[in-house]
Amino acid sequence: MSLLQTRGLTKAFGGLHAVQDVDFDLPEGEVRALIGPNGAGKTTFVGMLCGRVAPTAGAVRFAGADISRLPAHRRIREGMAYTFQITSVFARLSCRENVALAVRRRKGDAAREVPAALARVGLGDRADQLAGDLSYGHQRLLEIAMGLAQKPRLLILDEPTQGLADSEIEGFVALVREVRAEATVLLIEHNMSVVMDTADRITVLNFGEVLAEGTPEEIHADGRVQDAYLGTGDA
């Protein structure tokens, strides 16, 4: 069963189609990577999934229900969580307080769940540090902790390894493998090593359209993908 589905999803800005007629199915329990060159429409597509960008045409369905007109906060309530390409933590609050906000949103046990979420992303020893004082990479990890604290059915991660050290990327890969047991994951990522190590299947966008879809092995061997993306140096 598809947890997330789009049909004919389109976004036009004036005469420019950033996303054009995309049909997309994400089964529950899968880790799906979304890749493509810069300007392929990935961020716009994800914005429509999350409710931050209104589609020009088409539909988004989540857990069998049409959510095309639901605002972003309602989609979160329905079981979506997402991190942004640009971090959106509360800089003047501590790491603990940032994650506590996510836990309290669903009326969870902050005293127990906040330390656990921070520990999962490797920030257990930074609970009292102000989020604004963290490095960019650690802010990314904090945002992931906030997403996990919501206990979502679908976790959307937009460029999560940007700014992470190699050792932290290894930890992130292990985390995704662990999270897949409790949530479906949609990963928008330029680091192809991370994509190949974590994804069950990959969807490739190019010029706002689906160019290819398949297993990591199939995508790596696809000549169209090589020409449009993997061979360009953007990976």
String of DSSP letters for 72-83: HHHHHHHTEEEE
Mean per-residue pLDDT of the chain: 92
Q: Please tell me whether residue 155 adopts helix, strand or coil conformation.
A: strand
Confidence of residue 139 (pLDDT cuts 50, 70, 90): very high
In 159-215, the DSSP E strands lie at 184-188, 201-206, 209-214
- Give me the pLDDT at residue 232, please: 46
- Give me the pLDDT at residue 231, please: 61
* CATH, domain 30-52+71-230, list 3.10.20.440, 3.40.1160.10, 3.40.50.300, 3.90.190.10: 3.40.50.300
Confidence of residue 108 (pLDDT cuts 50, 70, 90): confident
C-alpha to C-alpha distances, 53 to 48, 56, 74, 103, 186, nearest whole angstrom: 5, 9, 14, 25, 17
Contacts of 214 (CB under 8 A, 6+ apart): 201, 202, 222
Q: Is the pLDDT of residue 157 over 90?
A: yes
Lowest mean pLDDT among 71-75, 172-176, 227-231: 227-231
Q: Is the pLDDT of residue 85 over 90?
A: no
Confidence of residue 93 (pLDDT cuts 50, 70, 90): very high
- Give me the pLDDT at residue 87, please: 65
CA distance 80 to 229: 29
Q: What is the pTM of this model?
A: 0.90
